[in-house]
Amino acid sequence: MMPSLLALMPMLVIGFGALALMMTEVVTDAKTGLSIGTAVVLLAAGAFAGAGWLAGPEHLGDASVFAPWLVFDKFTLFFEMLLALGGALAALLAGGYLREHGIERGEFYALISFSTLGAMMLVAANDVLMLFVGLETMSIGAYALAGFRRSSPKSVEGALKYFLLGSFAAALMLFGFALLYGATGHTDLPGLRDTISAEGFHSTGVVVALALILAGLVFKVSAVPFHMWTPDAYEGAPTPATAFMAASVKAGGFGVLLRVLLTVFGDERSASWATGWPPVVAVLAVLTMTVANLVAGRQESVKRMLAYSSVAHAGYLLVGVVATIRAPEQAQSAVLFYLATYTVSTIGAFGALILCGSRGAEVVSYEDLAGLGRRHPAVALPLAFFALSLAGMPPMAGFFGKWFVFKAAMDAGLHGLTIIAFINSVIGAYYYLKVLVFLYMREPAAHAPVAKPMWSGEVVTAIAVSALCVLLLGLAPGGVLDMALAVGAHG
């Protein structure tokens, strides 16, 4: 096989693998095994990306022969591995959840596969047109996943809000890139960067374009005030779809956000604290952390709490994005490491939530968790474990994710922003610890519905893999952190 074609193997494996699984279902009308098949396909794609990482992108050849609009650097390979892992774990969660709740249909796994493929195209995009194709491929799959439970009004409402607001955000971003094309004459990201850097950041059209592009991109990471779709979409969607959107879709959003800001708008004036995007992103980070944590603490629904929690984590990640202007390598590696810890912790938390409730007796509110730790300790333990990781308790992965981001911000001289992030992290611990209080220190109210755990080998496998990753990233973070340090987003 030609070396240049090897660079495309992760995407080709997912594309052809998803088509093969779809045809298998059509021919055999069998749904059993589709979740495992999807997980195997996605993990195989991740393995090809890992092989490319070990070999080095320079040994993959020039992929421009087949895909001139994509770039296969270590940044792309890192995200391909992360996205493949997130998609595979979400597919395993779906195998147990959909079957238990009587909504298993083969298209769910195709949607996860093609949405993951779109996210890979998005982070690998080296041209505005390919970026938009990847963004919409990822987003359309996510819209459909959000509304997959068609008989649920909440699911339909959440999907509709997500679709309408997502379409509006995509239009803003596309208009911004159109303005940028008019000002520079380029659609390729390196060409945009070189022209903006050479001519200086002074054109009104470029400033407006940056504002529109930034608005479209921060919507995908659900930053305040572009977060209003998140709680409704996350609550209404089937829980495996929520896990996928909270982990993989957010990772893809941050991947393209870093790629665009550090490549296209990485020149001295564009990235200046006085005249560029950093102060805007810093304000978004503060708003995102603060609003999300304050609102999350007032939620009665565990799923909505986790939705606002994911918004808060986007705020911490934005702190790392701001820090890239003064400590580029350290801050960018911290953001990538945080995304890795957040992905496995979030998917594990939603997987544990799935395991806690069965059909007709799901966990919806905190009250549904009351006493579960004593009645079913083996089921409650994973939820407590992942809640502690998301809260940032040592020695779990979530602690080191926040530690490296906060340290990068301090080293970049962003002391005020770091203090605000730390205070928000302490506030956020409240609603995570509230989960433990209800699990182990409360009894269900009289005549209240009691959640009944379910059993699924696929869900347990996903939880076990996530827990193992959380422990490894917490007890031995050096390997993944070294990989993140080796990454460069400039392509």
pLDDT at 489: 45
Residue range 195-251, pLDDT digits in tens: 888 766 567 778 889 999 999 999 989 998 888 888 999 998 999 999 999 999 999
The amino acid that residue 114 corresponds to is F
- 4 pLDDT band (50/70/90 cuts)? low
pLDDT at 400: 93
* Bridge partners of residue 70, in order along the sequence: 125
**3-state secondary structure (DSSP) of residue 70:** strand
Q: Is the pLDDT of residue 63 over 70?
A: no
Tell me the mean pLDDT in the region 430-457.
83
Query: How much is the mean pLDDT over the chain?
Result: 88
Q: What is the DSSP string of 281-295?
A: HHHHHHHHHHHHHHH
Half-sphere exposure of 119 (CA within 13 A, CB side): 35
Q: Is the pLDDT of residue 450 over 80?
A: no
The amino acid that residue 270 corresponds to is S
pLDDT at 65: 60
| Lowest mean pLDDT, pick from 2-16, 123-137, 330-344, 345-359 | 2-16
Q: Is the pLDDT of residue 462 over 90?
A: yes
pLDDT at 248: 93
Beta carbons within 10 angstroms of residue 188's beta carbon? 18
- 449 pLDDT band (50/70/90 cuts)? low
pLDDT at 345: 95
Which token pair is 472?
């490894």
- 491 pLDDT band (50/70/90 cuts)? very low
Residue range 248-273, pLDDT digits in tens: 999 999 999 999 999 888 878 878 88
Residue range 387-428, pLDDT digits in tens: 999 998 988 899 999 999 999 999 999 999 999 999 999 999
Residue range 87-116, pLDDT digits in tens: 999 999 999 999 888 888 888 999 999 999
Residue range 276-319, pLDDT digits in tens: 899 999 999 999 999 999 999 899 889 899 999 999 999 999 99
pLDDT at 312: 95
Cα separation of 144 and 110, whole Å?
A: 11
pLDDT at 327: 83
In terms of C-beta density within 10 A (0-12 exposed, 13-18 middle, 19 or more buried), how is residue 195 classed? Answer: middle
Tell me the mean pLDDT in the region 341-366.
87
| Residue 73 zone, left/alpha/beta (φ > 0; ψ -120 to 50; rest) | beta
pTM of the model: 0.94
pLDDT at 1: 45
Cα separation of 341 and 405, whole Å?
A: 12
pLDDT at 483: 86
pLDDT at 470: 95
Cα separation of 385 and 463, whole Å?
A: 11
From residue 280, alpha-carbon distances to 158, 271, 296, 490 in Å are: 28, 11, 24, 21
Q: How many angstroms separate the most distant Cα atoms in the chain? A: 71
Cα separation of 327 and 409, whole Å?
A: 8
Residue range 30-59, pLDDT digits in tens: 666 888 999 999 999 999 999 888 877 666
